[in-house]
Amino acid sequence: MGMTMTQKILAAHAGLEKVEAGQLIEADLDLVLGNDITSPVAIKEMEKMKVEGVFDKDKIALVPDHFVPNKDIKSAEHCKCVREFACRNEITNYFEVGEMGIEHALLPEKGLTVAGDVIIGADSHTCTYGALGAFSTGVGSTDMAAGMATGKAWFKVPAAIKFHLVGKPSEWVSGKDVILHIIGMIGVDGALYKSMEFVGEGIKNLTMDDRFTIANMAIEAGGKNGIFPVDETAVAYMEAHSRKKYTIYEADDDAAYDEEYTIDLSALRPTVAFPHLPENTKIVDEIKEDIAIQQVVIGSCTNGRLDDLRIAAKVMKGRHVAKGMRCIVIPATQAIYLQAMEEGLLKIFIEAGAVVSTPTCGPCLGGYMGILAEGERCVSTTNRNFVGRMGHIKSEIYLASPAVAAASAVAGKITCPCKLG
């Protein structure tokens, strides 16, 4: 029996000719990631271990992005801890305010993640980098500490699910709609500790930003990781952003998959995940009732990239946010912010009555820059809509694409751009 793409990457990093699903291995790491919430815990664990230094100062990335710029004294202390650790250990890839962005958009942009890598991060959405053909997965802060100290991590080799993507998405359908459709189909535990491997001719019709979004939300289906084959689009992205050597792995023809699904991209419609789980999906056409909302958030590690801002601006140009509506736009990195400014996107947002924030995870986790009060509803391009995720436990979050979020901000209710006058 052959190996899947993920299994081949893990075998190579474990120094083994072959691995099988369920096998425990120790693998070498190409990158260890932490942020301002998880890194302080890992740093304290390293102190308990009495470890002197880190395994490789070039293979650790520290990105303060959740409560940054600091929202209060506690967040300032967390960032100080990370800053001092980075300085003490001469960490090459420490990103301070003014340089930083939302970690899972920033690292590919900086060329730190490439095909064939094994990457762990003390953040669940580390699975984003599978869009480039890497094995990347979220871990706890203790595992992050061990990774920074030794450059190795233990894994149970995951089984896999294959998703055949065919066809071409229609207008207003993006990677967010693809992954929401899949999560709605298999459920939030449908890929529990499995590799979600995407294949098929339809992939050529997805941009890199679409692929980052899909891989980012693999964890919302319970996946250990999500991964795409390395095609011309992925190679072009890596060569434009990175000097790192990349390695392309391909699944064997006789690789074993627990399940296989075919997704016709041309049949998909803009999709919304209703409270309080990402699996609670409906296509916009099915929403008959008027669902009034008070806030829209366009941003996050899921949908704060340039394509996302462009489509939102396309919807909002010449229109205005509904009366009483709060619309918050958050470019995911400084580079994206600058490019959006140069293209005039920020002008469109501001003229439409939205506000534009510096890069931050802020509202996604109920941190700041968009907390919900009791009874409020928000359409958000983020990745989770659990009870109390963005504020009060009696608030509601509806997950959607940037196109649907922007249209909903204009209409004051959940709607599709195609329904705007």
Using pLDDT thresholds of 50, 70 and 90, give the confidence band for residue 119.
very high
Q: Does domain 271-419 fall into CATH 3.30.499.10?
A: yes
Indicate the pLDDT class of residue 116, thresholds 50, 70 and 90: very high
409, 316 contact by CB (below 8 A)? yes
Q: What is the pTM of this model?
A: 0.95
Same fold, 5-264 and 271-419: yes
pLDDT digits (tens, 9 = 90+) for 345-363: 999 999 999 999 999 999 9
Instruction: Please tell me the CATH superfamily of domain 5-264, with its number.
Output: Aconitase, domain 3 (3.30.499.10)
Kindly state the average pLDDT of the residues 3-27.
Answer: 97
pLDDT reading at 110 higher than 90:
yes
The domain limits of the chain are 5-264, 271-419
Mean pLDDT of 251-277: 96
| Paired tokens of 270 | 């803009």
What pLDDT shows up at residue 420? Answer: 84
Digit-coded pLDDT (tens) for 161-219: 999 999 999 999 999 999 999 999 999 999 999 999 999 999 999 999 999 999 999 99
